[in-house]
Structure 1
Amino acid sequence: MAAPVIKHDVFQAIADPTRRSVLQLLARNDMPIVAISENFPLSRTAINKHLHILSDAGLVSSRRIGRETRYSLHPEPLAELKDWLAFFETYWEDRLSLLKEFVENDTNPQ
């Protein structure tokens, strides 16, 4: 019996700071795992696990070039995160407006 395929969602994939850093590296250019690993105090095995989670979420892809596997960023799934955050943007704008009004009224008593 084959092991079940676990798909990670975008939110779970970016929850880890190392994975967020990997995405930032790949935003600059495609990289092999050796080059990615040089940026972290982790083993290549650990970086490979992070890349696997990012790949399962659709945020990175890999392609073989000769003997090397290069990883590239696919930011499209981040739109889900952007949409989710946009929902709360008006909440924060309202709160910041209220705070601004409070501060201005507090410093300028009438």
Structure 2
Amino acid sequence: MDLSAINPVLFVAGFLVAATPLIFAALGELVVERSGVLNLGVEGMMIIGAICGFATAVETGSPLLGFFAAAVGGAVLSLLFAFLTQITLANQVASGLALTLF
């Protein structure tokens, strides 16, 4: 295997492009943790949003409508997490992991 054909600059640029959604999620989690909430369901919320957005965009043919559906899907799961942890006072770790596995 010839690794000398890999351009390091393009490799790092591709890595940063692929990691951008995870960087945004990590920044959001950092802000949330500063407030005292441990949200381990961030990845699950992102996945649900992506699924809702993709399904809506494919069915309607409108990327803009898919974008809004992704935002609504992620927000609904976020509201479920907020209800579980803040209203019913469920365990934050268990609720976050359950939403991610969901």
Q: Which has the higher strand share?
A: 1
Regarding TM over 0.5, the answer is: no
Q: Which has the larger radius of gyration?
A: 1
The TM-score normalised by the length of structure 2 is 0.24
The TM-score normalised by the length of structure 1 is 0.23
Q: Which has the higher helix share?
A: 2
